[in-house]
Amino acid sequence: MTSDEIRSTVIEALCQVAPEADPAQLRSNISFRSQLDIDSMDFLRFVLALHEKLGIDIPEKDYPRLTTLDGCITYLTRPGSS
Amino acid sequence: MAEFVMPKLGADMEFGTLVVWRKQPGQMIHRGEILAEVETAKGVIEAEAFASGTIERLLTQPGEKVPIGTVMAVIRDNGAAAAVTAPGPTPVRPEPTVVATAIPAAPSSPPVDQTRLRISPAARRLAQERGVDPASVKGTGRGGAIMSEDIERAAAAKAALAVTAPLVAAPSTADKAAAMRQVIAAAMARSKREIPHYYLSTTIDMHRALNWLEQENARRPITNRLLYGALLLKAAALALREVPELNAVWQRDHVELKPAVHVGVAISLRQGGLVAPALHDTDRLTLDELMKNLLDLVSRARSGRLRGSEMSDPTITVTSLGEQGVEAVFGVIYPPQVALVGFGKIVERPWSVEGEIVSRPVITATLSADHRVSDGHRGAIFLAAVDRLLQEPEKL
């Protein structure tokens, strides 16, 4: 997948748990938690949505790398991630 | 025949508005199946049927606002006839009544002659305190005498009508948020007015629990991982078995212990406000079941798909504000419950272990409890049990 496709998928997954999120307003280097009031339950649902959409396993130790849009794109576009 | 009545979906609910019927006359329904969607100040709730059978008649129209206990539908039992109603203290009304006036106590009652009012002295005193006109209240005592509980019900209905009024005419999101805020305000004000709270706190070493969780999650597929919140809920639920008087409700002048542990999980809503629906049989769930049910509950709470039983069944509330950076939560009990457990943020602190000072992740657990029902000694036993249980996470 291209970086743009990953970005769209991440935003889609994010909007599943935070339907009020406005993708146009989302700042890519600021944590989802501070922008969208995402808690651990939302975050788990977000990771599960990424897993469903991309068919990849994400170890729990990697969760901290998925807290921003930039972080997600970097992590999910790395070699061997999908 | 069985009757489907407007269920009581929370301590402060006196009315609900039918949004939609999920079944039509002639269709079969099973006990526990969703029959209607009902709008309350806490959002749209899916109301389950409390009997199985065939829908005989629907007596309430979508958009109608009716008091709790109003018969909304009749379910024909395919076997023996039996009247089954949703749980709730308000007697079933013989006919549905659309609420349109400011005094909700007994809109269908004939006028009562004040000079011949049958009312106990205690009820009269209570009516004065609550600002209720006894003449507008229908008595349920012997010969129609007005009892204290009739006054309480009328006072609650009056308050509820005032706060749910904005829901009548297609409320905006802001109106709904304001209505929910008012319902929370009413419940919390009542709690602080009527419940003599006492508060306890303890600091719990979480290193065993977190280490176990890390190892457990490392070997689990992504779909089966646990959050530490699941351990906290399970530990609190199990500890209630040791101090059952905290798993109870206060009914007018006495405590009623609840045999099942249905922890109300405080969930903040994205549009503002919060709900605390029941995670049924919390103490009997495995951690896997608890986590799965919790995810489902949070997801439905935030999308407005909670069920009636989840709103009416909580026997205690557990809240956690740790993710917002708060170290300790001293909560306000949600009546008629008699206790609330709070968890704060997990923080690293110096900790003494066998004479050595080490750094440990710790959490502050608190208990807000009703002093009419329990004492600090019993509350302390409860918190000690939560601590002990969290030291053996593999047994939760």
Complex-level ipTM: 0.85
Q: How far is A5 from chain B (nearest CA, A)?
A: 22
Looking from the CA of B341 toward its CB, the CA atoms found within 13 Å total: 31
Question: What is the pLDDT at residue B171?
Answer: 63
Choose the closest CB to A41 out of B214, B217, B227. Answer: B227
Nearest to A66 by CA among B326, A78, B292, B270: A78
Structure tokens at B40: 């309350």
CB contact under 8 A, A20 and B271: yes
Percentage of the residues of chain A whose pLDDT score is greater than 70: 95
CB-based contact, A27 to chain B, within 8 Å: no
Average pLDDT taken over every residue of chain A: 89
Question: What is the pLDDT at residue B119?
Answer: 76
CB-based contact, A31 to chain B, within 8 Å: no
CB-based contact, A55 to chain B, within 8 Å: no
CB-based contact, A38 to chain B, within 8 Å: no
Which pLDDT tens digits describe chain B residue by residue (396 residues)? 888 998 887 766 778 889 889 988 888 999 888 999 888 877 788 888 988 999 999 999 888 888 888 899 999 887 644 444 444 433 333 333 333 323 333 333 333 333 456 777 777 777 776 667 777 777 777 667 777 777 777 766 655 444 333 344 456 777 777 888 888 888 899 999 999 999 999 999 999 999 999 999 999 999 999 999 999 999 999 999 999 999 999 998 999 999 999 999 999 887 778 899 999 999 999 999 999 999 999 989 988 889 989 998 999 999 999 888 899 999 999 999 999 999 999 999 999 999 999 999 999 999 999 999 999 999 999 999 999 999 999 999
Question: What is the pLDDT at residue B116?
Answer: 53
Structure tokens at B370: 């009703």
| DSSP conformational letter for B31 | T
- Sheet containing strand B306-307, edge to edge, reads B65-67, B15-21, B34-40, B43-48, B306-307
Q: How far is A80 from chain B (nearest CA, A)?
A: 18
Torsion angle in degrees (nearest 10) through CA of B227, B231, B232, B238: 150
Distance CA B310, CA B264 (A): 8
Structure tokens at A38: 């995402």
In degrees, rounded to 5, the angle at the alpha carbon of residue B166 between the alpha carbons of residues B97 and B46 is: 65
Q: Which amino acid is at B331?
A: G
Choose the closest CB to A58 out of B214, B222, B227. Answer: B222
User: What is the enclosing helix (H) or strand (E) of B344?
Assistant: none
Distance CA B361, CA B348 (A): 4
Terminal CA-to-CA distance of chain B, rounded, Å?
A: 44
Count of CB atoms within 10 A of residue B185's CB?
12
CB contact under 8 A, B270 and A18: yes
CB contact under 8 A, A44 and B218: no
Read off the pLDDT of residues A32-76 as tens digits, 9 standing for 90 and up. 988 888 888 999 999 999 999 999 889 999 999 999 999 999 999
Distance CA B363, CA B349 (A): 10
Q: What's the Cα-to-Cα distance from A58 to each of A31, A50, A76, B134, B291, rounded to whole Å?
A: 18, 9, 10, 64, 18
Distance CA B278, CA B317 (A): 8
| DSSP conformational letter for B195 | -
CB-based contact, B142 to chain A, within 8 Å: no
Question: What is the pLDDT at residue B111?
Answer: 36
Q: What's the Cα-to-Cα distance from B192 to each of A2, A50, B189, B330, rounded to whole Å?
A: 57, 44, 5, 13
Question: What is the pLDDT at residue B90?
Answer: 38
* pTM of the predicted protein model: 0.73
Structure tokens at B68: 């709790």
Distance CA B375, CA B379 (A): 6
CB contact under 8 A, A41 and B214: no
CB-based contact, B72 to chain A, within 8 Å: no
Asked if the bond preceding B166 is cis, omega within 30° of 0, the reply is: no
Question: What is the pLDDT at residue B157?
Answer: 61
Cα Rg, chain B, nearest whole Å: 23
Distance CA A33, CA A42 (A): 9
Q: What's the Cα-to-Cα distance from B195 to each of A53, B132, B188, rounded to whole Å?
A: 49, 22, 10
CB contact under 8 A, B298 and A19: no
Distance CA B261, CA B238 (A): 9
